[in-house]
Structure 1
């Protein structure tokens, strides 16, 4: 799978009483599908995945896949404490026709997975067992605030044939440089459209019409001994090409986004993309067009918004997304909604960037 452009980490909507609100999730996914972003990440950063039941996670995946435009790359977070549960969720993502899965370290077992910040045998086993059994390609997730992945772990996992990249959620561009050096020999082949954009599984699926088509020729031999049923031929799959890619790096912050792209990151997945996807895409587009002045301007206004609040947490992302016409709503307890003062601050920081 080819990663480029901007990928939106989806928040999970709830009713005021805490029930999962799939109708609002449908609304959000349809609206994001109209933006120029390249993909959607369900059950990823700021999704409140830990608060969802197994059944709710599967419902979220089914809903996102059903409503997303076919050209959007779909990624499902599967990082659960249990290898078995993670693989069951990966299978559910495959059944829903997602394209990749996102795998982070289970912070519940931090003391068993890290020894003086170095990965233990249990840590390697966790990631490699899931990569071995996942029906979809695996993208690692390194979060500087909760579970940053050591470079030794990344370098080893990058050689696994089912591990295709990493979402680096930090502000340290030096890590991108280190990853590039550590994975220089890694090569994968990605299926693309004829214009070298990502070809998703839903785009490549051959449609099998089940309805009878008037006027279809029925042979005389088929009329003997039963009822003839006329069917349309399968719709041909999308014409594709292949592209050789290395170990793909997705930068997960607004800060230093331009620097990260120049250092070797291939796409963006900053939390603010959920609130102002068009503004996030403009950062990517300015870099793609080779316009450093415009890139500095577009990134600068997003960075000021990101840095204006100490942490763009889930309640802030949800409150900010409502300014652009998405449904944010309340987070699930124990998380609390933003205060009125914070909501006003968010509106001030995002003024002029609604999308």
Structure 2
């Protein structure tokens, strides 16, 4: 299997009906996304409310997306566990279900004891036993840990650790300076997507791509072809919209923007609360002001 991947990845949300996972809605979303230039999907990430799902639901979601995606799109499964053993098990279950890659979140519960050595061992141990190529997910907002330059430099040399989704606020240039040339770094949010692409990132994993995949892919294509002036203009529109949607209202905001854009978003699963009428009105206003909707291929 080729390890090459670049472009815009959508961190897929999980649709619920009466608090149950609606696999038909999920399939319909993926069928629509398959008509866009999205390079693939991050499954069971924070936007997928992975921590609110049981193992049966996780497996069904992976299977549904793998079966519904286009043949050119890749399936990346998010792995989040503080146990090396459980992470290895989930990684290889994802492989058996047909995924192409895994994205390995930094363990964090015992962060006071997670030294550089412990973190390096964790990533390497999982990569050694993984049937799939591994991306590292550096997410200080969720874990309270920013992976050090030393950790990234060492683990990037492992042949089965092929890249990183970097959601840190400003570490990209430090990381790229110590990684092997073919280590692929993806921007982990729309906030950093444009500058990261300019500096050499190969793509981005951005929540707004759930509602506006065409515009997010357009931004990537503009940078790829050197049209940075138009790219910057589009980026500023998407940036403001993203801050009004995901930045202000998290998963619930992303899901409501999907509803507006014609996808199945719906409500988040408890304990996350649904949006209030005023919050919905705020998102509607932000989308209208952005002038990026309706979208066309």
Query: Do they superpose with TM above 0.5?
Result: yes
What is residue 235 of structure 1 aligned with on the other side? none
Q: Which of 305-314 and 247-256 deviates more? A: 305-314
1:284-338 Cα shifts (integer Å, max 9, x gaps)? 0110121111011110100111233544511111111111111111111101111
Counterpart pick for 1:126 among 108, 122, 127 = 122
How far residue 107 of structure 1 moved from its aligned partner, in angstroms, is 2.7
- Tell whether 2:285 aligns with 1:353: no
Task: Give the whole-Å Cα distance in 2 for the aligned partners of 1:170 and 1:347.
Answer: 29
- Tell whether 2:195 aligns with 1:259: yes
Higher-Rg member (1/2): 1
Matched-pair contact (CA < 8 Å) for 1:9–1:46: yes
Matched-pair contact (CA < 8 Å) for 2:116–2:148: no
Task: Give the whole-Å Cα distance in 2 for the aligned partners of 1:62 and 1:102.
Answer: 17
Task: Give the whole-Å Cα distance in 1 for the aligned partners of 2:32 and 2:87.
Answer: 29
**5+ residue gaps in structure 1?**
114-118, 188-245
Task: Give the whole-Å Cα distance in 2 for the aligned partners of 1:7 and 1:13.
Answer: 18
Give runs of ≥4 in structure 1 deviating > 4 Å: none
What is residue 234 of structure 2 aligned with on the other side? 298
Matched-pair contact (CA < 8 Å) for 1:15–1:21: yes
Q: CA separation of 1:124/1:311 partners in 2, compared to 1, >3 Å: closer, same or farther?
A: farther
Task: Give the whole-Å Cα distance in 2 for the aligned partners of 1:13 and 1:55.
Answer: 15
What is residue 236 of structure 1 aligned with on the other side? none
Q: Which of 121-130 and 290-299 deviates more? A: 121-130
Higher helix proportion, which one? 2
Task: Give the whole-Å Cα distance in 2 for the aligned partners of 1:133 and 1:93.
Answer: 13
Aligned pair count reads: 287
Matched-pair contact (CA < 8 Å) for 2:26–2:64: yes
How far residue 120 of structure 1 moved from its aligned partner, in angstroms, is 4.0
Matched-pair contact (CA < 8 Å) for 1:169–1:253: yes
Task: Give the whole-Å Cα distance in 2 for the aligned partners of 1:30 and 1:109.
Answer: 40
- Tell whether 2:243 aligns with 1:247: no
What is residue 153 of structure 1 aligned with on the other side? 151
- Three-state SS of the structure 1 residue aligned to 2:162 is strand
What's the TM-score once normalised by structure 2's chain length? 0.92
- Tell whether 2:207 aligns with 1:268: no
What is residue 15 of structure 2 aligned with on the other side? 13
Matched-pair contact (CA < 8 Å) for 1:112–1:123: no
Task: Give the whole-Å Cα distance in 1 for the aligned partners of 2:106 and 2:192.
Answer: 24
Task: Give the whole-Å Cα distance in 2 for the aligned partners of 1:335 and 1:249.
Answer: 30
Task: Give the whole-Å Cα distance in 1 for the aligned partners of 2:202 and 2:148.
Answer: 20
Matched-pair contact (CA < 8 Å) for 1:144–1:169: yes
What is residue 144 of structure 1 aligned with on the other side? 140
- Three-state SS of the structure 1 residue aligned to 2:272 is coil
Counterpart pick for 2:162 among 161, 164, 169 = 164
How far residue 258 of structure 1 moved from its aligned partner, in angstroms, is 2.0
What's the TM-score once normalised by structure 1's chain length? 0.77
Matched-pair contact (CA < 8 Å) for 1:251–1:260: yes
What is residue 264 of structure 2 aligned with on the other side? 327
What is residue 55 of structure 1 aligned with on the other side? 56
Give the RMSD, CA atoms, in angstroms. 1.6
What is residue 30 of structure 2 aligned with on the other side? 29
Q: CA separation of 1:105/1:151 partners in 2, compared to 1, >3 Å: closer, same or farther?
A: same
Task: Give the whole-Å Cα distance in 2 for the aligned partners of 1:327 and 1:24.
Answer: 6
